[in-house]
């Protein structure tokens, strides 16, 4: 039976604090891309990510763009990117006229495969054209294999951008996601673990890089008593009202993560006897469980597309896993490096389904999802 009330994949989840903070922003007349909530949001995200400087921006994509620019990426440069991700982490490479080389996922996780990265770096070194940067993603809130990725990049002197858009509040080896690269990027889009209605932030321990990013995001306005521009700029600023919403959401980050973890555990327990498995945390990591991802085994009776379509008919929003970047027509010309005998990111796309995971979902709603998935995936 079709549910009367739609169950969304990861909708915004409000507390009572958002209205108070927005009211404060409006009553104090800071209705502008400047103001006290912005500065405080930056400080609070720094504390959360264990980094010393931050710049709030209009989106995570703007963050990736200016992070690339801050690392000197320009026309004709190469940038290595995670292949299995959202387009927002790869599009900005092309804004700067650079070329992306896509790196496959690891067989044991959804994240970048360090063996494929090693092959790609070796190959690039032999051609004497190393990448100007690596963008590696913490997909679905699962930390990438930083213990292996960072020393590899260090040995070739390649700086790292951590796309932590989906991973606010996740940890690996006790260190926060967002803090592993030279620059970390967060997104506060409406479907993320916290939202500012739309927005992003870059974090770094290099205050000079953040200062430069802030300058470009503000139309490259020079510090002069009249309008002076020596460089092309962008209007990538976040509004103080959006920052107020983001701060209110951030105050309950821990309970949001706890709830998403509970949702993940409930799916796992409910599907234990089905020909499916849940995407599990890798050892020594504490993901934020942004989305619970179910992987169909080869003997599952339906395809991922059929499961998603049937759930949709019941008014339940599930989504296929990300379609790899090397399969996108717009990126088909990019290099793509695999270390396994077949593409792991294509495998993941073929079998992965993101299930409703919002921290505001009730047990009753999750039970409806569970009973329908069980009916679709049971072999007898
Ligand atoms: C959401 C997302 C982005 C883009 O963030 P926006 O704020 O939507 O621009 C980039 N990378 C990944 C992995 C994302 O999930």
pLDDT at 380: 67
User: Going from the N-terminus, what domains does the chain have, and what CATH number goes with each?
Assistant: 17-250 (3.40.640.10), 253-377 (3.90.1150.10)
- 166 Cβ closer than 6 Å to some ligand 1 atom: yes
Mean residue pLDDT across the chain: 97
Of ligand 1's listed atoms, the one at least distance from the Cα of 63 is 9
Q: In this structure, are strands 292-296 and 99-103 parallel, antiparallel, or unpaired?
A: unpaired
The C-alpha atoms of residue 283 and residue 277 are separated, in whole angstroms, by: 17
SS3 call for 243: helix
- 246 Cβ closer than 6 Å to some ligand 1 atom: no
The strand pairing partners of 375, in sequence order, are: none
Say which residue the tokens 């990111």 belong to: 345
- 249 Cβ closer than 6 Å to some ligand 1 atom: no
Cα–ligand 1 centroid distance for 83 (angstroms): 14
The strand pairing partners of 68, in sequence order, are: none
Burial class (CB in 10 A: 0-12, 13-18, 19+), 312: middle
Question: What does each C-alpha distance from 122 to 9, 106, 115 come to in angstroms?
Answer: 40, 18, 11
What residue spans of 82-195 are helical by DSSP H?
Answer: 91-95, 114-126, 146-155
Of ligand 1's listed atoms, the one at least distance from the Cα of 189 is 7
Q: What number of H helices and E strands is found in the chain?
A: 12, 15
- 59 Cβ closer than 6 Å to some ligand 1 atom: yes
Q: What is the DSSP string of 266-292?
A: HHHHHTTTSSEEE-PPPTTEE---SSE
Give nearest CA residue, ligand 1 atom 11. 89
pLDDT at 104: 98
pLDDT at 10 over 70: yes
Give the predicted TM-score (pTM) of the model: 0.98
- 109 Cβ closer than 6 Å to some ligand 1 atom: no
The C-alpha atoms of residue 320 and residue 339 are separated, in whole angstroms, by: 24
- Give the whole-number percent of the chain exceeding pLDDT 70: 100
SS3 call for 305: helix
CA dihedral (346, 348, 354, 355) in degrees, to 10, reads 140
The C-alpha atoms of residue 285 and residue 175 are separated, in whole angstroms, by: 9
Cα–ligand 1 centroid distance for 203 (angstroms): 15
Q: Which two tokens stand for residue 129?
A: 């054209």
Give nearest CA residue, ligand 1 atom 2. 165
Cα–ligand 1 centroid distance for 348 (angstroms): 19
pLDDT at 1: 83
- 137 Cβ closer than 6 Å to some ligand 1 atom: yes
- 163 Cβ closer than 6 Å to some ligand 1 atom: yes
pLDDT at 22 over 70: yes
- 85 Cβ closer than 6 Å to some ligand 1 atom: yes
pLDDT at 223: 95
Q: Summarize pLDDT for 152-208 with one digit per residue, the tens.
A: 999 999 999 999 999 999 999 999 999 999 999 999 999 999 999 999 999 999 999
Site to substitute for ligand 1 among 95, 110, 139, 163, most atoms within 8 A of C-beta:
163
Q: Which two tokens stand for residue 244?
A: 């107020």
Whether 102 and 135 have beta carbons less than 8 Å apart is answered as no
- Give the whole-number percent of the chain exceeding pLDDT 90: 99
What residue spans of the chain are helical by DSSP H?
Answer: 17-27, 36-49, 60-70, 91-95, 114-126, 146-155, 207-217, 240-250, 253-270, 304-313, 344-351, 363-377
pLDDT at 227: 97
Give how far the C-alpha of residue 14 lies from the chain's centroid of Cα atoms, to the nearest Å.
Answer: 20
H/E stretch holding 320 reads: strand 319-320
pLDDT at 306: 98
The strand pairing partners of 201, in sequence order, are: 56, 186
Query: What's the 3-state SS for 152-215?
Result: HHHHCCCCEEEECCCCCCCEECCEECCCCCCEEEEECCCCCCCCCCCCEEEEECCHHHHHHHHH
Neighbours of 11 (CB within 10 A): 17
Q: Summarize pLDDT for 281-320 with one digit per residue, the tens.
A: 999 999 999 999 999 999 999 999 999 999 999 999 999 9
- 141 Cβ closer than 6 Å to some ligand 1 atom: no
Cα–ligand 1 centroid distance for 225 (angstroms): 37
The C-alpha atoms of residue 248 and residue 194 are separated, in whole angstroms, by: 9
Q: What angle do CA 220, 221, 227 make, to 5 degrees?
A: 140
Whether 325 and 337 have beta carbons less than 8 Å apart is answered as no
- 314 Cβ closer than 6 Å to some ligand 1 atom: no
Cα–ligand 1 centroid distance for 236 (angstroms): 15
pLDDT at 346: 98
> Which sign, positive or negative, has the C-alpha torsion 141, 142, 147, 149?
negative
The strand pairing partners of 57, in sequence order, are: 200
Q: Summarize pLDDT for 226-276 with one digit per residue, the tens.
A: 999 999 999 999 999 999 999 999 999 999 999 999 999 999 999 999 999
- 194 Cβ closer than 6 Å to some ligand 1 atom: no
How big is the chain, counted in residues?
A: 380
Q: Summarize pLDDT for 324-346 with one digit per residue, the tens.
A: 999 999 999 999 999 999 999 99
Q: Please state the rounded mean pLDDT for residues 371-377.
A: 98
Q: What angle do CA 42, 264, 356 make, to 5 degrees?
A: 80
- 89 Cβ closer than 6 Å to some ligand 1 atom: yes
């Amino acid at each position: 039976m079709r549910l009367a009330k739609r169950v969304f994949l990861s909708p915004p989840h409000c507390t009572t604090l958002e209205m108070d903070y927005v009211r404060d922003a409006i009553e104090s007349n800071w209705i502008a891309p400047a103001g006290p909530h912005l500065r405080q949001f930056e400080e609070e995200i720094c504390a959360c990510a264990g980094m010393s400087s931050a710049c709030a921006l209009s989106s995570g994509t703007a963050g990736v763009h200016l992070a690339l620019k801050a690392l000197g990426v320009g026309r004709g440069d190469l940038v290595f990117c995670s292949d299995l991700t959202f387009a927002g982490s790869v599009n900005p490479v092309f804004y700067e006229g650079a070329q992306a080389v896509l790196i496959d996922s690891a067989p044991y996780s959804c994240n970048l495969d360090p063996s494929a990265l090693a092959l790609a770096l070796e190959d690039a070194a032999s051609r004497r054209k190393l990448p100007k940067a690596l963008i590696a993603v913490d997909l679905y809130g699962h930390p990438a294999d930083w213990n292996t990725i960072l020393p590899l990049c260090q040995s070739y002197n390649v700086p790292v951008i951590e796309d932590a858009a989906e991973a606010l509040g996740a940890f690996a080896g006790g260190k926060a996601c967002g803090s592993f690269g030279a620059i970390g990027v967060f997104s506060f889009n409406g479907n993320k673990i916290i939202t500012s209605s739309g927005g992003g932030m870059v974090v770094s321990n290099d205050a000079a890089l953040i200062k430069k990013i802030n300058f470009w995001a503000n139309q490259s306005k020079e510090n002069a008593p009249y309008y002076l521009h020596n460089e092309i700029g962008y209007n990538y600023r976040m509004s103080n009202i959006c920052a107020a919403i983001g701060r209110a959401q951030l105050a309950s980050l821990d309970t949001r993560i706890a709830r998403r973890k509970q949702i993940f555990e409930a799916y796992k327990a409910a599907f234990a006897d089905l020909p499916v498995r849940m995407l599990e945390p890798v050892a020594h990591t504490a993901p934020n469980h942004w989305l619970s991802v179910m992987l169909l085994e080869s003997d599952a009776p339906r395809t991922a597309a059929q499961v998603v379509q049937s759930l949709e008919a019941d008014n339940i929003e599930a989504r296929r896993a990300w379609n790899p970047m090397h399969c996108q027509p717009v990126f088909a010309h990019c290099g793509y490096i695999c270390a396994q005998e077949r593409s792991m990111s294509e495998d993941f796309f073929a079998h992965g389904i993101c299930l409703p995971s919002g921290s505001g979902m009730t047990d009753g709603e999750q039970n409806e999802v569970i009973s329908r998935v069980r009916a679709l995936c049971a072999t007898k």
